[in-house]
Every structure is written in structure tokens, then in C-alpha cells.
């Protein structure tokens, strides 16, 4: 065979193959109708245009995007909380009013213009044990005369307040019963920025609403909590999951259906969701709930220092090599930090080998402990990395555990906690009331029986426990502020 014949054979074979292929396509292709098909229903119409889409509703969700399981785990354990205020005084007449109005608007709070009609507000909560303990926000139940909890299946229960902690805006409730669905605690320390999360709650009284988003930031301080003694803790998980009025106290869960936070606030100029929401991390929630269950009050552990974030300006001024950490501006005499050898000018960079980059992270790391607990503090001094062990102390300057006390006797006076009804009538957060008064320093100062102490040296006194803790470390003159049952406000100076 000549070379010319060889190439000619290849060309002929190619042409023949192409012809066979084109003929097959034409033969097997459905013949087009010369007249349009008559469509007598919308199903016919949709079948024509959607024929390329699968009709089967069963589908496989890509790994990391399956929200169905987490939603099924969370919704039965998230409850609707209704708070009632017989006197027309609610959490909105507390110091939280202005702050949370910025975050939640004035919805359902017009009752302040309709006093003395009964007032109501609502929020969410999370069942955290089978025997009916419920975690929620303090501002959801603060000052309420009656609290009811409605489950996902519409069962309704009256709730008892076990304890509250305004410094973290958390509260623990109890409903009677057993075998409740509850959410397991996750690990908020392991939560990653960019991770998918779900927010579950009751926005605008729409029960069992689930929204999705990602973790936008951690250890976020947005300056919404206030405490006269500076003990507030803000180390929020920030997400872009939609949260609105009524979501407060609800669950933030990961895709395993584990609780990783309690939804608390939103950043908004309008009172409704505008892009970001904030949740108390579950590591802090669990510690506060344990304290309230065991003691009725939160056990606050302190290093006893004044601190600020290490900024670029501070680092340049102090010639720091690192731009992260927490700068100690002052160390309290006799504090845990003082005993451990920490000094003003040191930069704390880790607690128990857990890196702390800012004040919020340090506050959270310390708040997870109780007075008497020991932590390892890693810090930098004059460019050298050092470690020391610090035994944490309470606000009283001791390692003693604070016990919720119903009554307390001191210097001729017997003090009792103010009941909720009287506190609501007087529009106070609480106080220590003089139930009995004999000769002693209190009587000598001119104080009369039934006086309610609400503040000592500008430190809030909301209970007998607060009074006991405060007076244990007072020396010299003190300024006492309070109110009588008649509503008369009074101030007294007393030597101690």
C-alpha cells in the first residue's frame, strides 16, 4: 500500500465514523412536535420546564452543612418564657433598661405608659437537665412576679428562680417534672471562627424558630452590662445568625446539636436584627449554673488587678515586642495577684496555658474559677517570659466561699433579704433589711428599724450575702444608702 493510499484510508474512516455518530443522534432524538402540546394543568406546565430536576425529595447534604440534625436536637429543649409583673415594674425599670432597649427595642414595653396595669414580657430559655433546670438571661426574668415556661410541645409550667447573676446576665430557673429533653453542653473553647452555628428561640413570640449563621468573632466585649463594682463579664461569641426580640435566653448550638452559648444581645440601630448577635459562651454558662445550683449565688474569683488591652500605642510606648495580651496597670494590695508576685507593667499572655489576647478573654478565664482555686499565670516582664501560681480570692479579699444567707446579725441588728414584692414596690434591685434593731452602731448612727440598705460606699447591696461580704472587709468610716418601706430615701455615715 502506498503512502498516499494509507492517508486516504484514514480520512475515509474518520468521515464514516462521524456520519454514523450524527445519524445515531438524529435517530434516537425524540421528534419535535409540529404543534405545541396542550397543557391543561400547572403540573403539566412545570413538568415541561423542570424535567431536568430530580423529583425525589431525598437528598444528601454536604458534610458540614447539615442543619437538620442540630435543629432536631435543639428545638425540644428550647422553651418560651413569659414573665409577668403585677405592679407594672419589670426588668425595663432596672439599670438594664437603657442598654437592652438599644439591643431589643421597646417592643412589649409600652406598659410603662399604662401603669398600673399588669405588664408582661417574653424571652427564651434552655433546658439543661432532665429534671427541669432552665438556663436563661437575667434580663428575661428580672423583677418578675410570676414566670411561666412553655415547652416546644405546648406543655406549660410555673417556674421558680433558683438564682441570678446580673454580672453575666444569666439566671437559673426550675420547673417541676422529670424526663425533659435537654441540651448537652458543648465546648465553647473549641469553637472556631467561621464555624456554622444555629440560634434557636422564640423571636416575636414565634416559637421554636431556628436561624443559621457562622461564628464571626469570639471574646467580644460590647459594653452592655453594667456593675457598679466593675465585676461585669463580657466575652461574647459573635455570630451572624438572625436573633431578634424574644431570642434572649435561647440556645446557640453547633452542628452536633450541643449548646455552645446563650443568646443575649444584638447590635442594632433599630431594635431588630441588623447583622450581628452575641451569646454568652457555654463555658461561662456552665460555671454560673453550677454555682447557682449549689450555692444560690455566683462564686466570683478575682486576681485583684486593673487591666487594659495591649494596643499598638501602648506597645510602642512601653517597647513591647508583642501586640497582644493584657497589660496590668495596677495591682491591689493583698490581692491574689499581689501574693503571686505580679506587678504593674506586667503583660499577662496566658492562664493555665490558655492564651489570652485581650481583657475579655482574661476575664472569662478567671471567671471560670472559684475563690481558693489556683491558676498558673504566664506573663511578660521587661521582655522576659515568666510564670507564677496565683490563688484566687473573692470580692471580700479572702478565699471563702460565699453562702446565700437568709438572715445575718451584726452589731445589734438582724438583717434579712428584701422580698420580691417589696423590692418591686420600691423599685429597687434588692437589699438587706433591718428586721430587728437593738443598741449598737446601726442604731447609734440614727438608722431605724425596717431600713433597707441598698448601697455601702457606692457598692450595691442586693442581699444579706452582699452585706456580709462587704462588711467583712470594711475599716473606718462608711457611707450607707438605702430606703424605708415608705419610700423615703436616706443616707447615713457610720464609723466601723
- Of the candidates 139, 188, 335, 466, the residue annotated as catalytic is 139
- Of the candidates 93, 248, 455, 463, the residue annotated as catalytic is 248
DSSP string, 362-373: HHHHHHTS-TT-
Helix (H, G, I), strand (E, B) or coil at 375: strand
Identify whether 338 is a catalytic site residue: no
Identify whether 248 is a catalytic site residue: yes
- Of the candidates 165, 169, 291, 346, the residue annotated as catalytic is 169
Identify whether 121 is a catalytic site residue: no
Give the residue from 69, 52, 53, 73 showing the smallest Cα distance to 61: 69
Three-state secondary structure string covering the chain:
CCHHHHHHHHHHHHHHHHHHHHHHHHHHCCCCCCCCCCCCCHHHHHHHHCCCCCCCCCCCCCCCCCCHHHHHHHHHHEEEEEEEECCCCCHHHCCHHHHHHHHHCCCCCHHHHCCCCCEEEEEEEEECCCCCEEEECHHHHCCCCEEEEECCCCCEEECEEEEEECCCCEEEEECCCCCCCCCCECCHHHCCCCCEEEEEECHHHCCCEEEEEEEEEEEECCCCCCCCCCCCCCCEEEECCCCCCCCCCCEEECCCCCEEEEEEEEECCCCCCCCEEEEEEHHHHHHHHHHHHHHCCCCCCECCEEEEECCHHHHHHHCCCCCCCEEEEEECCCCHHHHCCCCCCCEEEEECCEECCCHHHHHHHHHCCCCCCEEEEEEEECCEEEEEEEECECCCCCCCCCCCCCEEEECCEEEEECCHHHHHHHCCCCCEEEEEECCCHHHHCCCCCCCEEEEECCEECCCHHHHHHHHCCCCCEEEEEEECCCCCEEEEEEEC
Question: Mind telling me the catalytic residues?
Answer: 139, 169, 248
Amino acid at each position: 500500500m502506498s503512502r498516499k493510499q494509507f492517508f486516504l484510508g484514514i480520512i475515509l474512516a474518520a468521515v464514516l465514523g462521524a456520519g454514523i455518530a450524527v445519524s445515531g443522534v438524529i435517530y434516537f432524538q425524540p421528534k419535535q412536535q409540529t404543534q405545541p402540546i396542550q397543557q391543561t394543568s400547572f403540573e403539566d406546565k412545570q413538568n415541561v420546564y423542570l424535567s431536568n430536576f430530580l423529583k425525589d425529595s431525598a437528598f444528601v447534604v454536604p458534610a458540614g452543612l447539615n442543619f437538620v440534625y442540630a435543629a432536631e436536637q435543639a428545638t425540644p429543649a428550647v422553651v418560651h418564657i413569659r414573665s409577668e409583673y403585677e405592679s407594672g415594674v419589670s426588668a425595663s425599670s432596672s439599670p438594664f433598661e437603657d442598654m437592652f432597649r438599644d439591643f431589643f427595642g421597646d417592643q412589649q414595653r409600652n406598659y410603662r405608659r399604662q401603669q398600673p396595669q399588669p405588664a408582661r414580657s417574653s424571652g427564651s430559655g434552655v433546658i439543661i437537665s432532665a429534671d427541669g433546670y432552665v438556663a436563661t438571661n437575667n434580663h428575661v426574668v428580672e423583677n418578675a412576679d410570676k414566670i411561666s415556661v412553655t415547652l416546644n410541645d405546648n406543655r406549660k409550667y410555673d417556674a421558680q428562680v433558683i438564682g441570678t447573676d446580673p454580672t453575666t446576665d444569666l439566671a437559673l430557673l426550675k420547673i417541676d417534672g422529670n424526663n425533659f429533653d435537654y441540651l448537652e453542653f458543648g465546648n465553647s473553647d473549641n469553637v472556631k471562627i467561621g464555624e456554622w452555628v444555629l440560634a434557636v428561640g422564640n423571636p416575636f413570640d414565634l416559637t421554636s424558630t431556628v436561624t443559621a449563621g457562622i461564628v464571626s468573632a469570639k471574646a467580644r466585649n460590647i459594653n452592655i452590662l453594667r456593675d457598679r463594682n466593675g465585676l461585669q463579664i463580657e466575652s461574647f461569641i459573635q455570630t451572624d445568625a438572625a436573633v431578634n426580640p424574644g431570642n434572649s435566653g435561647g440556645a446557640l448550638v453547633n452542628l452536633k446539636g450541643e449548646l455552645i452559648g446563650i443568646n443575649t444581645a444584638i447590635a442594632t440601630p433599630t431594635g431588630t436584627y441588623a447583622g450581628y448577635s452575641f451569646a454568652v459562651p457555654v463555658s461561662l454558662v456552665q460555671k454560673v449554673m453550677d454555682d447557682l445550683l449549689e450555692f444560690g449565688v455566683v462564686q466570683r474569683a478575682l486576681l485583684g488587678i486593673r487591666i487594659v488591652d495591649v494596643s499598638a500605642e501602648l506597645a510602642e510606648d512601653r517597647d513591647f515586642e508583642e501586640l497582644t495580651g493584657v497589660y496590668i496597670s495596677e495591682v491591689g494590695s493583698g490581692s491574689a495577684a499581689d501574693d503571686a508576685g505580679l506587678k504593674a507593667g506586667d503583660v499577662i499572655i496566658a492562664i493555665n496555658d490558655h492564651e489570652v489576647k485581650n481583657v475579655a478573654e482574661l476575664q472569662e478565664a478567671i471567671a471560670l474559677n472559684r475563690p481558693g482555686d489556683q491558676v498558673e499565670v504566664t506573663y511578660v516582664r521587661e521582655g522576659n517570659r515568666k510564670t507564677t501560681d496565683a490563688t484566687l480570692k473573692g470580692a471580700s479579699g479572702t478565699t471563702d466561699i460565699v453562702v446565700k444567707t437568709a438572715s445575718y446579725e451584726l452589731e445589734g441588728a438582724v438583717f434579712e433579704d428584701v422580698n420580691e414584692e417589696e423590692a418591686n414596690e420600691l423599685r429597687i434591685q434588692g437589699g438587706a433589711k433591718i428586721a430587728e434593731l437593738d443598741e449598737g452602731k446601726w442604731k447609734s448612727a440614727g438608722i431605724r428599724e425596717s431600713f433597707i440598705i441598698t448601697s455601702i460606699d457606692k457598692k450595691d447591696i442586693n442581699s444579706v450575702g452582699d452585706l456580709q461580704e462587704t462588711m467583712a472587709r470594711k475599716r473606718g468610716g462608711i457611707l450607707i444608702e438605702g430606703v424605708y418601706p415608705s419610700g423615703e430615701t436616706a443616707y447615713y455615715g457610720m464609723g466601723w
